[in-house]
Structure 1
């Protein structure tokens, strides 16, 4: 909640509350893309994984600090290329997070956007979701498995293709 005199959205208004507008906007865009694609129920962990992976992509690709003023359609090609199957997305996220953390440490100010992005990244890395085993040998169904073999997969590995597909469907 903002208090009188704390109207800043970037931590420069003299108050001690910085509103993480860039992260919130990235999360909003990701949420809208996934809801429009209607790929998963919004209450599912898979949806959250897709939203967080896509929000991280959107937030971390904003190298000029222009996120709240961007035109979504103009950035879709960038987001598609970053989330493509053959791209080292995980390495890119780690490198960008480290770069932003170093910049925040140099500035010495609050970094609420980075804090929320870091929390999302931690959840994506540490959480595993049960997903179809795409590497399973065809016809190797175990009796009683209607959907085929499944494996525990890091949430980001499930969320990233969902985010990519949501961008395509927009």
Structure 2
């Protein structure tokens, strides 16, 4: 059965570019398998969007099962780990893709829209960026201190944990 809408080519193609569709599928499967948050929750959506951007903008395809699967998982883990400048990496990759492919790439348009949603949607959460640690103590988080954060700041550690559980 053909989709009702097309991507403007008039050829009856998919409305969503395959690379972006695969990235969203991989992100969704990783989060569902991790079972960290309820599917459909705002936290889940933040994690799925963050992981989808990471997969889409990363090197190679979104295939997490092929011969290079471990290399891809390692790359995604490195990109999502605490302390990695993920926000800057996303901005740089989006700009590089736009320069290389122009505005004709439908996957890039969806990635930019996803990034705008991640930046524009704020969630009330414990401020993980304000970790405090004594000289000989483990880092401590005051869970009663909640702040409004861009949703990617919550989705990033959630995505990283889902990758670790894979």
Classify the TM-score, shorter chain.
0.7 to 0.9
1:124-139 correspondence runs (5 A): 124-134=118-128, 135=130
Corresponding residue for residue 148 of structure 1: 144
Distance 1:137 1:57, change over 3 A: closer
What RMSD over aligned residues (CA atoms) do the two structures have, in Å?
Answer: 2.7
1:73-152 correspondence runs (5 A): 73-105=70-102, 110-134=104-128, 135=130, 148-152=144-148
* TM-score between both structures, scaled by the size of structure 1: 0.77
Count of equivalent residues: 151
The answer on whether the counterparts of 1:136 and 1:149 sit within 8 Å (CA) in structure 2 is no
Displacement of 1:69: 8.7
Q: Deviations over 1:35-56 (max 9, x none)?
A: 1111111111110100101110
Distance 1:84 1:68, change over 3 A: closer
Corresponding residue for residue 143 of structure 1: none
Corresponding residue for residue 140 of structure 2: none
Gaps of 5+ in 1: 139-146
Distance 1:102 1:111 in 2: 11
Displacement of 1:67: 3.6
Corresponding residue for residue 43 of structure 1: 40
